[in-house]
Each structure stands twice: as structure tokens, then as C-alpha cells.
Structure 1
Amino acid sequence: MPLLCESSASPASLRATHMLDFDPEVMSVAIQDGVLEHVQLECGQFSGQIAHTAAPESWVDWGRYTLSVLARGDLSRDRVTIAMALQGQGDWRLQGASALTGDIVVFPERGELLAALPPQAQWLSVQVSRERLDAAGLAVHAYSPSQAHRINAGEAPELYRTLASLAPVLAPMPSAETYDSAAVAWAHDQLVDGLFAQLARLSAAGSVETPLGPTERHHVVRRAELYLEGRDEQSVRMEDLCQAACTSLSRLERAFRETFGVSPRRYLTLRRLAAVRRELLRRESHASITDVAMRWGFFHLGRFAQDYKALFAELPSQTLRSRRH
């Protein structure tokens, strides 16, 4: 029977269901705003987990099943669904075609899912408005409801690192601490940015774009920096940065990589880490490490400490102690 764990602070923002056997009724709402039928394809004792999180402008669902299952049915009527095959022992079948772990499938509004999941499958689903994709310059064509746009993403190492860092928020265990709505919203934006960046790179690789000249590159980066200087960086989303820089996400990525040698998201992270270090080194500041980290958008404190040490060769606590000497 399924076990349900909800956040007491914001029930709509975090919900995890753990199944000790095959339960088609629970699995029918595996993807929010969808209605799915599941059939167990493999003999044996089934178990699984489904986690749902909701932020104001996105929904995220994550699932893990021990045995092979068939999933089919209708997806969101109002949002674009981006699904990713994270892990599995064998090939997937998506929309009647063979697929591999790492593949990304984009479904239009009122899309229809038809998938055969392999044993030990893990999957991820993100639902966003079409306006967010349009703002990032990512075209999702008006397919018929039964169609989807599939991109072979390969290994996508940056995206997998992002997913690993967000797993405690987006796929919590029953004994995990509850997370507030700000942490969930931050995790959603990080995930959406990672997916958008991967889609932009794959789309650019399959098309012929005019090269970025020095003048355009300078204007793109300068407009983006001016936008960042006037905002609290922890709330910045890539599509907002694209609109401020008057460009698409693929060209924004190219401009930042060619100018700074890093992606826009990595650039934002490095700036936020520098801001944290600046505050920790201020002798007049009495804020705790946790307060400073969360003020700059680092809600996963364990991952923050790892990233901080990797960049500055010391832990935040060591920085704080050096200030006091």
C-alpha cells in the first residue's frame, strides 16, 4: 500500500508517495494534471516511488519503478510537458519508437503519452507554460495531441549534475525534512534552466545559426549584466535573462561561453558564491552562514558547502573563522 508524506508548511508544494506494490490508481496521477493508465509488464513484486512538487510557474514529477510498466494517457491541457528518461535497465519505448536513457521528450499542450518503461526505471516530468519556452527562444511546434518532439540528449553531464543536487528537494524520502516554498521554487527554476539549456544546445547543434560577431556578443553580455545588477540574482531565470538581453537562450549560452568560458547559469552561481564570501568576510556582519547562503539562493546547504569549498579551497566556516582573527 502507498505511504504518503506531505510538507506541513505548504501541502501543494511537496508530496511523496511510496508504493509497496503495484497500485494503478495511485499511478494514474503520476504526472500532475494528467490522467494515465498503467499496466505491469513484468512478473514479480513491484515497488516504486512518485514525488510531486509545485511552484507558481512550474510543476515537477519524479518517479522510480522496480519492474517494467506501460504508461499511457493524457497530459496537461494547458502546459508543455518536458519528460526525461533518467535511468533504466534496458531501452525505453516512447511514442512507439525505441529510446535511450537520457532522451528528452517535449509534449505540447493536450499531449498524449505512450511509454514502455524498462525495469529499474527513473523518470522526470516538468510542466511549464508555452510562454516560458517562447521567452527562451525555444520553439515547440503545434503538434497534434498524440505527437511529441523527441531529442536524443545523450549523457548530458551538466543536467545530471543539476538533477543530483536538486534530488533532496524534488524527490524526498519519507523521513526527509520538509522544505519551504522558496526552496521548492528555487529548485524548480534551477531544473527548468538546466533543461532549457540542454534543449537549446541540442537545437543549435541540429540547425545552422549565424555566428555571433564581436559587437552582438558584447551587447548580449552587457545587457544581461545590466539586468543582473538591478535584481536579486537568486530569482533570475534564464528566459528572463534572454528577454533582457534581447536574444535566444542558445545565443545567450554562446555569448557567455565565448566571453567568460562558462554557461550563464554557472556565471550566476559563481557570482552568488562570490557575494556570499564577500558577506562572510565583512567584519561588521553578524549574520550566520545559513542566513547568508539562503539570502543568496543556496537552499541546499550541503551542496552549497561543497561548491564553496571547491571554488575557494576552504569551507564557509573557515572563511568566517579567518575573519575573526
Structure 2
Amino acid sequence: MNEPAGKADEADAPSWARSVLTFDIDAHAASQGDWRLHYEQLSSGDFRGELLMLQLSGVSLTSEKTNLALRQRGRLGEDVYGFAMSVDPSGDVYFDGRKVHPDAILCGSGREIDFVTPPKHHLIGLTVDRSLLDSLWDRMYQKPLATWLERQVDLRPTSENAIALRAKHLQDLKQALALAQHFTDAADLNQLRDDILIEWIEAIPPNVDVSDMDSLARRKRLVDKACDLMLVNRDLPPSILDICSQVGASRRKLNYCFQDVLGISPTQYLRALRLNGVRRSLRQAEPDETVQDIATRWGFWHQGQFSLDYKKHFFQLPSETLNRARRRLYGANPKGASV
């Protein structure tokens, strides 16, 4: 669904609403407008994602439900700020390299984001253009935007404010979707937009402590460097000891940093990262490529064990993934899918 709404004047950007149900993490990431996001599936199962997205003048409102543990990284835009919150999280959430409280407001620059979310997760959020937030902030507080908004910060509202904010966001998103679909005058949508944006800003606690951000950032940089090394040579996955040597950390420290930043061990993450890579390659395979060709290219040399690991992670054999891709891409009898 992609419906334009009315405009108050020529200066207003058109509004639109989108409701998407997806069964593939890459399709889910690609459905989110101009955002550039990349997802990795960390837990086992068939993916299912639900996304509600409403673009208003200067603000987008979202509600995202996903059924598996995921890592999502990317950017929302150069000149936007993002605000997000979990709705009744079923497990630990990690934001920019640290575990956050279930009621935390996650906010900061849209230039780079990094989330790890648990299975059965519901995320609500909004993005706002810098110019709109700057103007609103000045009117509310008579001072420039807080400098900590240029970073990725998790803030702890009171329990009462957290409950109220969740309810308000979901209520206003539902109302705004109804208005947008009925070509309502943009003035009504803009009033609703301002109300929900003010609600998010007012839920921010008065004092924001970022004194530990530098030490947390160092830990995350180490993990990010290790993650990059995992994909340098796809056909020859590094050992954990190789990674430790190249990032300058003991195995114990590396494991501690991964658990602290992503909630997963480096061995588990390396395995998930490469299985995700195989699945993407299978779904985009050339007509003459086989499962064995692709698995070997990703460093899986023992085909029997690889097939078991793949099925455990994605609930289907690699040959099933390749067969489905063949039918979707070429409409022909599948070839080379024997594993």
C-alpha cells in the first residue's frame, strides 16, 4: 500500500503510507523507503516481518515486528535524527554496542545505526529532519539541539512516560495512517506529526550522561573490526585465534566484547554471518552454479555438515533455497541443487 495524502501547500512534501508483510530479511530491509539497511539472521527459523511506515512532512513514523533475532545496520539519512523504543521486548536488545534497558529510548544521528534485536520483537520509532527538530527544540527549550544527539544514545524515561509514549505512538500511527489514506488535508497530519514528535522529546529525561560513551565505543570498534575480518576471504574463514591476533585481543577479551556488544559469541556470529552469505548467494545464483560451488565459495568444505547447519539455521535445505530461486528467477527446472 502506497497512498499519497493531500498537501497544505507546495512547500510540503507528499505524505504516503506503507504496510508490508515480508518473508525474507533482504526484502524486508529493501522495503523501508530511502533507508539503507542490512539485516543478518542470528537465530534459527523462517523469517517473518511486518512493517507499518508513514511518511509525513519532515517525519516518518514506523512500527516493525520481526520474529527472529536479527542484527540490522545501516543509515537512515545524513540530515535526520532517529528515535526508537521496544514494545514489550521478549529478550535483550543491543544498540550501538551495548545492552539497553527494556524501556530505553534509543536516539541519535541517522548517519549510522546498529541494532541487535531478539526473537518476537516489536520496535516503534520515528525519524525527523534536522531542520524541523532544530526549530522545534529551539521553541521548546530556547537553546540549540543537544550535542549528544549527534551520537547514538540510549535514554531511560520513567516507566510511566515509557508506557504513555508507546501507547501514544501506536495510537497516533493508526490515526495518521487512516488520515493519509483518506487524502486528508495536510494541516491535520502536520498537527498529529507535531503532537507525537513533542511526545517523544518530552519523554527524554532532563539529564543525559554520556561519560562512558568513549569506552563503549572502543569496545564496539574492536568488535566491528573483527566482524570485517570475518569476510575478508570468504572461501577461507579465519579462526578465532587469527582474528584475536589481528585485532590485538585475547580470546577471552574478544569473547567478552562480542557478548557485551552483540549478545553472541564470535564463533556463533561468524557461523551466522557466513550462513547468511550462502543464502544470499543461493538466492542470486547463476544458472550453472551448484550448491557445492556456492558453499565452497563461503568456506564450507564439508558438504554434509554444511547442509545440516544450513537446515538448522533456516529450516530448509540449501537445495530448497536454490530450487526456489531458480523457479523465481528463471522459471525453469532447477539444476545443480543436490545438497
Q: Scaled by the length of structure 1, what TM-score is found?
A: 0.52
Q: Secondary structure of 1:15's partner?
A: strand
Alignment-derived partner of residue 19 in structure 1: 21
Residue ranges of structure 1 left out of the alignment (5+ in a row)? 207-325
Q: Which residue of 2 aligns with 1:103?
A: 104
2-side partners of 1:53 and 1:20: how far apart? 17
Give, in whole Å, the separation in 1 of the partners of 2:155 and 2:20.
30
Residues 112-131 of structure 1: matches in 2 within 5 Å?
Answer: 112-123=112-123, 124-129=125-130, 130-131=133-134
Is 1:149 the counterpart of 2:153? The answer is yes
| CA RMSD of superposed structures (Å) | 3.0
Contact 2:17 2:54 in 1 (8 A): yes
Mapped to 2, the partners of 1:94 and 1:139 lie a distance apart of: 22
The answer as to 2:133 corresponding to 1:135 is no
**What is the one-letter code of the residue matched to 1:72?**
R
Structure 1 match to 2:206:
203
| Percentage of identical aligned residues | 16
Question: How many pairs align?
Answer: 194
Contact 1:82 1:104 in 2 (8 A): yes
> Is 2:83–2:106's contact at 8 Å kept on the other side of the alignment?
yes
Shift of 1:163: 2.1
Q: 1:1-325 counterparts in 2 under 5 A?
A: 5-7=1-3, 9=5, 12-28=14-30, 30=32, 33-108=34-109, 110=111, 112-123=112-123, 124-129=125-130, 130-131=133-134, 132-137=136-141, 139-141=145-147, 147-155=151-159, 156-170=162-176, 178=182, 180=184, 181-199=186-204, 202-204=205-207
Contact 1:105 1:151 in 2 (8 A): yes
Cα shift at 1:24: 0.9
- Answer yes or no: is the 8 Å Cα contact 2:2–2:18 preserved in 1: yes
* Cα distance in 1 for residues equivalent to 2:66 and 2:183: 24
CA change 1:102–1:113 in 2 (3 A) is: same
Deviations 1:219-244 (CA, angstroms, capped at 9, x unpaired): xxxxxxxxxxxxxxxxxxxxxxxxxx
| Corresponding residue SS for 1:203 | coil
Gaps of at least 5 residues in structure 2 are 7-12, 210-339
Distance 1:183 1:86, change over 3 A: farther
| Rg larger for | 2
Partners of 1:81 and 1:106 within 8 A in 2: yes
Structure 1 residues 29 and 74, CA gap change in structure 2 (3 angstroms): farther
2:68 & 2:56 partners in 1: Cα distance? 30
Structure 2 CA distance for partners of 1:179 and 1:103, relative to 1, 3 Å: farther
Question: Letter of the aligned partner of 2:56 in structure 1?
Answer: A
- Match of 1:93, as an amino acid? Y
1:55 and 1:184 in contact (8 A); partners too? yes
Q: Which structure is higher in RCO with an 8 Å CA cutoff and minimum separation 6? A: 2
Change (3 A) 1:73 1:50: same
Contact 1:65/1:119, CA 8 A, preserved across alignment: yes
